[in-house]
Amino acid sequence: MVNGLLKEYSPYLEYKDGVLHFDGVNLEELARELGTPLYVYSANHIRDKIRAYKEAFPGALIAYAVKANFNLGVIKIAAEEGCGADTVSGGEIYRAIKGGIPADKIVYAGVGKTDEELSYALEQDILMFNAESEMEIEVLNELAGKKGKKARIAVRVNPDVDPKTHPKIATGMKKSKFGIDINKALDVYRWASKLPNIEVVGIHCHIGSQLLDLSPFREAVEKVADLYRKLEKEGIRIKYLDIGGGLGIKYKPEDREPSPKELADIVTPIVKDLGVQLILEPGRSIAGNGGILITQVQFLKEKDDKLFVMVDAGFNDLLRPAMYGSYHHIVAVREKPQKMVCDVVGPICETGDILGENREICDVGRKDYLAVLSAGAYGFVMSSHYNMRPRAAEVIVENGSYRVTRPRENWDYIIWKEEV
């Protein structure tokens, strides 16, 4: 039953002879060799998820959302599978290109793009800027003119759709900072299409993240399709329809993870006659359950009726539980018949440094290892040096072997550019 549950997170996650393995690699041996905290990503899991999108949306550009996991090894896998990249900063564009993704497959969103970032993206000749405001389009027109270029843009429209997710990752509602009100979008397109250094090529929307209920996609895409038809009547030719990402993953054991095929069944009938290339921006649904965080037990402490298991990974390594109150399933790396109920807490000097509350796990002791599941997206990318803690190493496992794609930091790494 335990392996059955693990397979629901990833087909490459299982206990063999009582020890947790990921993509054929013994995680206890890996942790002993490389130390902890340790992020581990399955290449096969990531490839399978990308291929599921490609099969569900033939002809679409699958633009991997770099913000979910910007490890160069992960980006390289996405590039090898023919993906483009969804980026939200100049640095992410730089990483995507370094990872092997061609610039003509890169789209660039984000509400606060700097002049330097816009100029860099123009120089790289990326596929499309997903513009978030009229002022951004004005600045982009000016910068492109100075470079003798035309900036290809989509207007990011806000369809005012409730994505039924955590408020901090809902981006498609009217009160959100993202995009332009869809009711104002037609006027913005008319204006932008007349600017000398702007080429209007697309429509973009992204309603939120970690969506397990797909009904909001239907409402959003129907609104965007209606906008497309209005633009077509005005003679404004749209080549690309970028519907964003947001497909959710299994975090809790009871969660049901929707598939790209289910999303395609909703989206395809709405857009099939529009004559555009579809762009999708999956991130979490590709990398999320393709990654785990291995951490080592340091101490156990009982206070009143509560047992605390203190580990060496904290919210400097995995911020989501402290920031969003997010659930991550936690299992022991070595399976045992005895169980215990505990709070799994980190070393950070903050009360909120809790990875899991009231969890039933296998009985563990000092120096045993735990695996925090569903950590491949918004894990390492949100990590920090808080409390002067070096960031974790990152490893890609595949068919029983592994490669370190980012070595563990140390104290000297953190302060090497500082001066006294």
Could you tell me the pTM of the whole model?
Answer: 0.94
Same-domain check for residues 240 and 142: yes
List the CATH number of the domain containing 210. 3.20.20.10
- Would you say residue 283 has pLDDT above 50? yes
The residue segments making up the domain with residue 150 are 109-282
Residue finishing a domain among 264, 282, 300? 282
Residue finishing a domain among 261, 282, 303? 282
Burial of 68 (0-12, 13-18, 19+ CB in 10 A): buried
List the CATH number of the domain containing 11. 2.40.37.10
Arithmetic mean of pLDDT, 356-366: 96
Percent of residues, the chain, with pLDDT higher than 90 = 88
Residue for token pair 């068919």: 399
- Would you say residue 171 has pLDDT above 50? no
Same-domain check for residues 319 and 268: no
Predicted confidence at residue 331, as pLDDT, reads 98
205 is catalytic: no
Same-domain check for residues 226 and 355: no
- Would you say residue 165 has pLDDT above 70? no
Domains identified in the chain, total number: 2
Arithmetic mean of pLDDT, 267-289: 96
Q: Of 414, 251, 219, which is closest to residue 321 (Cα–Cα)?
A: 251
Predicted confidence at residue 2, as pLDDT, reads 81
- Would you say residue 216 has pLDDT above 90? no
Residue type, 146: K
Q: How many residues does the chain have?
A: 420
Same-domain check for residues 265 and 310: no
Q: Does residue 58 fall inside a structural domain?
A: no
Residue finishing a domain among 234, 259, 282? 282
Q: Rounded CA gap, 19 and 27, in Å?
A: 7
Percent of residues, the chain, with pLDDT higher than 70 = 96
Residue for token pair 């099939």: 272
Which of these is catalytic: 83, 205, 342, 349?
Answer: 349
Same-domain check for residues 273 and 297: no
Same-domain check for residues 122 and 271: yes
